[in-house]
Amino acid sequence: MAKTPWWKTSALAIALVVIAAACGSDDGGSDPGEGADTDASAAPAGPVTGDVVIFAYEDTLFPFIQDPFQEANPDLNVEGVPFGDASDTVTKLRGGFQADVVETCAGEMDQLIRGGFLQPIDTSRIPTWDDIYQFMKDGQGVEVDGEYWMAPTQGGIDGIVYNADEIPEGAITGYRTLFEGDWEGQIALENDSTDSMPMVAAALGFPSVFELDSSQIEQVRDYLIDTDRVRTVFDEDAQLINLMQQGEVLAVQAGPELVRVLNKEGGNFAFITPEEGSVSWVCGLSISENAENLDAAYAFINHMLDPETQANVAVELEYWGSNPGILEAADQKTIDNLRLDQAEEVVTNSIPELIPENIDEWEDAWRQYLAS
Amino acid sequence: MEHAATDGARARSARPVVRQVFWTIHRRELVTRVASAIMLAFGALILFGPFLLLAFLSFNDSQILAFGFRGFTTRFYEEALGDAAMRESLRNSLVVAGLTTPICVVLGTLGAFGIARFVFPGRGLVAGALTLPLVVPSLLVGVGALVTFSKVDVPLSLYTVAVMHIVVGFPLVMAIVTAALFRFDRSLEEAALDLGATRRELVWYVLLPYLVPALAAAAIFVFGWSFNSFTVTFFTVGSERMFTVWVFSKLRRGTNLPTVNAISTLVTFVTVVVVYIAYYLLRRSAVRSGQDVRSLVAGGPQQ
């Protein structure tokens, strides 16, 4: 009997493996792992077990956040997967990546919810839910169609940061004066249509800076193309910090934490809340549609909502917390620096960050501006 | 006598011309050398200047990467090396690159032999298909791999990263080794066979020594690509950290830039040292075997 060629045997083996793998898989939603809870009526009591995948920004995976959570749940295998950009989150989830908890911000909620990558939050499993600042629960993407999709854990505002050595106090009062002031080619814009175009919309006096119609978008685009105030468009904070420190850029839309970073290095920078209103942002945690360990997912969310954790986040990362209990847990210096006791007042009077419904038009206009 | 006198007069009158020609040639050579040196210095400045500047600033005691030297410090190196996530990511990236490189070299060399030495229907098509991973955008490769692994229920891990690095890496080796094989003088093979060498001896004693510079160059390229890969790595890694993903996620906060700069400087320095040592060993081997040392630079002798 003739010997079967080796390549035929190998091809058959490979085919069998592929078929076995295909038959062994279901439609992508794996069976709940150990520790998963099928009873969603109560918060998990005591330490949780099993595996949990936390898909979040790097700073949420820092030891000062993860270590206490791990200590409280010693039999839980915590896998932290970092990402650096919201678009990475959406793309990776879209590709089938399995995670239990996903860190989300208002910007990508619409895509994630419509794409079916998240599941609604069961607020009964979050004991501190009613304590969370209402203004954060009102953020875009937090509640959609009567269901909550994000447990807000952090927030902040963006205003105008400027070089106080070069720009006298009072010279900049808002976005209009930012774009019309006497600093040709010395402001920077973030390379994001929904971050930068609202500034121009505010400068042009449009009433609703995140809800622009086609004509208004064109006006914003044309204004940007014609203006000679913009020095550069930046992608990363690190780039912006260097530009401001070197005096290449004198003013930018940013959060107050940028002032502290720049002034630590001997700079003299100041922050103002624009007269048109500052833009507020809210981020938090959501539960992935293919989450396998709901107990652990909710345990982590509760951990992030804990006032102690939020106080640590405020100190280390300078973000506002969403639980008013942070005012008891944080030290007075942190409260004063971040104006934590004024968070509600400041944000209530701010412009909440939204993702426009006609975002494609925004992106087109932004690309046209960059191309010019 | 008269002729000798005439010849002597001619010679004497020719000396200024000779001197003039000599200095003209010498001046031209001098100008060429100076111009070459300037071009080389300019090129080196463009290529290495930014890196040297960043290396210099990595010792600047400032959270901001800018001029204004505020004092010498190694704290950013200490911070980087003290970061457990960084150490884990560096180790994982080195392991994956170290694992994929020899596999890519073997697979790529075998592929190169197949393309260079065998004539079969569709050879061009096969060659093109095998080099597709080099031209397809890495985003498509990464996302495609993620979707595939998800569909066949293969959990993401360092193994999935390694598999995709091999998929993209071995065509790189194949391209380099194929080029070397096409340049190889086949008469040397025939001579070896005529002199009684077996196929194994032909490969071991004739072909492989010739291919060593190309294989070394290919291995360095693949290792470098694997270590520095971000897009494919990001979409195919699980919860394990990889160095490029660590860098990208760290840079979300501007205050981390000096730390990232410090560890990047260290990694680059180590890379340069390793590559130089490899080149030195190859050179020494070439000198001992009487090979043309200049051939090491181009990744293979020119025939």
A36-57 residue pLDDT tens = 444 444 555 689 999 999 999 9
Clarify whether residues B175 and B257 are in a common domain: yes
Task: Give, in degrees to the nearest 5, the angle at Cα A190 between A187 and A191.
Answer: 125
Contact A82 B249 (CB under 8 A): yes
Search chain B and give the residue with CA nearest A260. Answer: B255
- Please tell me the predicted confidence (pLDDT) of residue A3: 47
CB nearest to A79's CB, from B65, B239, B251 = B239
What's the gap between Cα A190 and its chain centre?
A: 15
Structure tokens at A123: 């607020």
Contact A91 B257 (CB under 8 A): no
**What is the interface pTM, i.e. ipTM, of the complex?**
0.73
Q: Are B172 and B218 in contact (CB under 8 A)?
A: yes
Which tens digits make up the pLDDT trace of B86-120? Answer: 999 999 999 999 999 999 999 999 999 999 888 88
Q: How far is B211 from B109, CA to CA, in rounded Å? A: 10
Host domain of residue B143:
75-296
Any domain includes B269: yes
Structure tokens at A332: 């007075």
- Please tell me the predicted confidence (pLDDT) of residue A119: 96
- Please tell me the predicted confidence (pLDDT) of residue A28: 37
Chain A positions touching B241 (Cβ under 8 A) are 82
Chain A positions touching B64 (Cβ under 8 A) are 241-242, 245, 262, 265
Q: Are B241 and B92 in contact (CB under 8 A)?
A: yes
Buried b (16+ CB within 10 A) or exposed e, A185-209: ebbbbbebbbbbbbbbbbbbebeeb
Cα dist from A154 to A209, A261, A301, B81, B252, whole Å: 23, 19, 12, 30, 16
Q: How far is A269 from A166, CA to CA, in rounded Å? A: 9
Q: Tell me how many helices (H) and strands (E) chain B has.
A: 13, 0
Clarify whether residues B83 and B35 are in a common domain: no
Tell me what the mean pLDDT of segment A3-26 comes to: 47
Interface test with A, best of B253, B255, B257 (most A CBs within 10 A): B253
Chain A residues 163-222 with CB within 8 Å of chain B: none
Instruction: Say which CATH number the domain at B273 has.
Output: 1.10.3720.10
> What percentage of chain B has pLDDT greater than the value 70?
89
Which CATH superfamily includes the segment(s) A156-278+356-371?
Answer: Periplasmic binding protein-like II (3.40.190.10)
Clarify whether residues B268 and B126 are in a common domain: yes
Chain A positions touching B154 (Cβ under 8 A) are 21
Clarify whether residues B162 and B235 are in a common domain: yes
Look at B133 and A185; give whichever has higher pLDDT.
Answer: B133
CB atoms within 10 A of CB B25: 10
Is B112 within 8 Å of chain A by CB?
Answer: no
One-letter identity of residue A137: K
Fold (CATH) for A50-149+282-349: D-Maltodextrin-Binding Protein; domain 2 (3.40.190)
CB-based contacts of A252: which residues, under 8 Å, 6+ apart? A160, A161, A162, A187, A188, A189, A190, A240, A244, A258
Q: How far is A283 from A142, CA to CA, in rounded Å? A: 9
CB nearest to B252's CB, from A18, A58, A262 = A58
CA of B253 to nearest chain A CA: how many angstroms apart?
Answer: 6
Chain A residues 247-306 with CB within 8 Å of chain B: 261-262, 264-265
Number of A:B CB contacts under 8 A?
98
Which tens digits make up the pLDDT trace of A87-133? Answer: 788 888 888 899 999 999 987 888 899 899 999 999 999 999 999 99
Any domain includes B12: yes
Q: How far is A264 from A100, CA to CA, in rounded Å? A: 38
Domain count, chain B: 2
Which tens digits make up the pLDDT trace of A216-230? Answer: 999 999 999 988 788
3-class secondary-structure state, position A305: helix
